[in-house]
Amino acid sequence: MTMHPTVLSLRGATKRFGGLVAVNALDFDVHENQVLGLIGPNGSGKSTTLNLISGALPATDGEIVLRDRDITRLPPQAIARLGVARTFQLVRLLPSMSVLENVMAGAVFGHRRRWGRAAETHARKMLDRVGMGRKLHLGIGQLTYIDTKRVELARALAGEPRVLLLDEWLAGLNPTELEEGVALIRSLRDDGRTIVLVEHVMDAIRSLCDTCVVMAQGTKIAEGTPEAVLSDREVIRAYLGDDDA
């Protein structure tokens, strides 16, 4: 078995909102070229964890290390520049700009920054990669829902991140789109990207993740392969206690 170096580590990462402990002393490592699924019932702290990693929210306690760099107290732009890119649960694109311009923005502000022609060439390549190569000049308002998701993904990829965070990227897709979406994420996985994904779609988790970290009420309750964690008693109990189970 090949060794995959650790790219990102959470050590005791904690987030409190007043009296609520949304993320409770969370530990896990993300390895290079691996896909880690962060799963758990609604409200278990998954999105908050992504927000701690990306710097959107400051951690209350603990530390987050990217390669050898402590990123715990850094602002989101600095973390993006060091190589963490993300997509959002509710797509965030600039509606007054074209598809291509949105993705160029990702190339300009990401980990490996490019300008002018170089940014454009790279943005075109990423848009091709996600199947949007023929829709470069459309406005964001003209896109179908899955296409906005594709553009957001291309924008995240355009900065050549060391770690890509996907926050329920597949949510809201219809069954046909879901198949396309899973195939697209799988192809990124096969490219050897390092990905942390928060996802509720179990088939996607099974087919995409090398490792899963399962959260319940802010705490990690299991970690392992999808097969192992999804047959774990405590995990099943956590999900059955949830309305969505």
Ligand X SMILES: Nc1ncnc2c1ncn2[C@@H]1O[C@H](COP(=O)(O)OP(=O)(O)OP(=O)(O)O)[C@@H](O)[C@H]1O
Q: Are 105 and 155 in contact (CB under 8 A)?
A: yes
Task: Choose one: 36-44, 75-83, 114-122, 149-157; the region binding ligand X (CB under 6 A).
Answer: 36-44
Identity of the residue, 16 or 186, whose beta carbon is nearer to ligand X in the bound complex: 16
How many whole angstroms separate alpha carbon 213 and alpha carbon 221?
8
Identity of the residue, 45 or 83, whose beta carbon is nearer to ligand X in the bound complex: 45
Contact call for residue 211 and ligand X (CB under 6 A): no
**Shortest gap between Cβ of 214 and ligand X (angstroms)?**
11
**Shortest gap between Cβ of 238 and ligand X (angstroms)?**
11
Residue whose token pair is 């329920």: 168
**Shortest gap between Cβ of 98 and ligand X (angstroms)?**
30
φ, ψ of residue 177 to 5 degrees: the values are: -65, -35
How many whole angstroms separate alpha carbon 80 and alpha carbon 209?
23
Q: Are 64 and 53 in contact (CB under 8 A)?
A: yes
Contact call for residue 17 and ligand X (CB under 6 A): yes
Contact call for residue 45 and ligand X (CB under 6 A): yes
Instruction: By CB under 6 A, name the one of 46, 162, 193, 220 that touches ligand X.
Output: 46
Partnered with residue 85 across adjacent β-strands are 164
Contact call for residue 44 and ligand X (CB under 6 A): yes
Q: Are 84 and 52 in contact (CB under 8 A)?
A: no
Instruction: By CB under 6 A, name the one of 34, 47, 72, 194 that touches ligand X.
Output: 47
Cβ count near 44 (within 10 Å): 25
Identity of the residue, 119 or 170, whose beta carbon is nearer to ligand X in the bound complex: 170
Contact call for residue 54 and ligand X (CB under 6 A): no
Helices (H), the chain: 46-54, 76-82, 99-109, 116-129, 145-158, 175-190, 202-208, 226-230, 233-240
**Shortest gap between Cβ of 93 and ligand X (angstroms)?**
20
Instruction: By CB under 6 A, name the one of 24, 34, 48, 54 that touches ligand X.
Output: 48
Contact call for residue 202 and ligand X (CB under 6 A): no
How many whole angstroms separate alpha carbon 54 and alpha carbon 12?
16
Contact call for residue 43 and ligand X (CB under 6 A): yes
Q: Are 106 and 85 in contact (CB under 8 A)?
A: yes
Q: Interface with ligand X by CB under 6 A: which residues?
A: 17, 20, 22, 40, 42-48
